[in-house]
Amino acid sequence: MIRPGLCSVTYRQLTPEQLAPLAADAGLEVIEWGADVHVPSGDPERAAEVARVTSDAGLSVASYGSYFRAGADEALTPTLDSAEALGADRVRVWAGRDDSGDASPAQYAQIAARLQDAAAEASDRGITLALEYHRGTLADTPQATLRLLADVDSPALTTYWQPSVGAADAVALAEYEAVAAHTSAVHVFSWWPDAERLRLDERSGLWGSLFAAAAAQAQPPRDALLEFVPDDDPALLASEAAVLRRWLAEA
């Protein structure tokens, strides 16, 4: 079963103590805690506090949404320390700062090598890594993501997926299907036609079809995580979560 959950970055204005009960009341099961506000990297004491807040609300930690960027001169160890204290067995990471079409061969090789080292370090601690599928990284298209995963060649590295900005439903579905076998979580939001935030069910054609396809996989994504509701409005979470849970139940 795919677990319905929430990315904490959806509500950066709320504290974890406010956010966890809100997610639980909405019928969600898991939270991906972000490193930018709620669980800062390198602060395991705060991570442990948020872990308790999460469990007290009856939720589980889906993952740790880090901003570690492979290719930069950045240590992964503080991120893993926080993930471990949080109880997260998966950490989201970023493959550099350039689109795949703009990176030089040397930049690509550096990022791939850093991801290999990072995946090995994480694996030694019982943690996996997952690429943020996003423009401005080497994981910005299905082809680029598959190439990077193949070159890193580690069972400790998977990918997330989210619809590319501006992609029509059929295009987004084809992109998902290309990387589906390597996808451990999906970020769920409805933007159209560009970055305008819609209510979730305004792209029901996309998400209903995607979750039906995911449910038919031998190993579907573990988590479907809500992200970016209109106006960052906490009052919308219950209804948006209900739509997500309905889609997962129908699938």
pLDDT tens string 75-104: 999 999 999 999 999 999 999 999 999 999
* Cα→Cα distances 3→6, 107, 153, 197, 211, Å: 10, 36, 27, 23, 12
**Strand stretches in the chain, DSSP E:** 3-7, 30-34, 60-70, 90-95, 128-131, 157-161, 183-188, 223-226
DSSP result, 16-51: HHHHHHHHHHTT--EEEEETTTTS-TT-HHHHHHHH
Question: Which of 149, 143, 146, 135 has its CA nearest to residue 99?
Answer: 135
DSSP one-letter string for 52-78: HHHHHTT-EEEEEEEEEEETBS--SHH
Which domains occur in the chain, in start order? Answer: 3-250 (3.20.20.150)
What span, in angstroms and rounded, lies between the C-alpha atoms of 38 and 197? 23
pLDDT in tens, 144-158: 999 999 999 999 999
**pLDDT range class, residue 73, cuts 50, 70, 90:** confident
Determine contact, residues 35/196, Cβ cutoff 8 Å: no
230: pLDDT strictly greater than 90: yes
d(CA 220, CA 184): 7
Model confidence, pTM:
0.97
- Report the pLDDT averaged over residues 217-237: 97
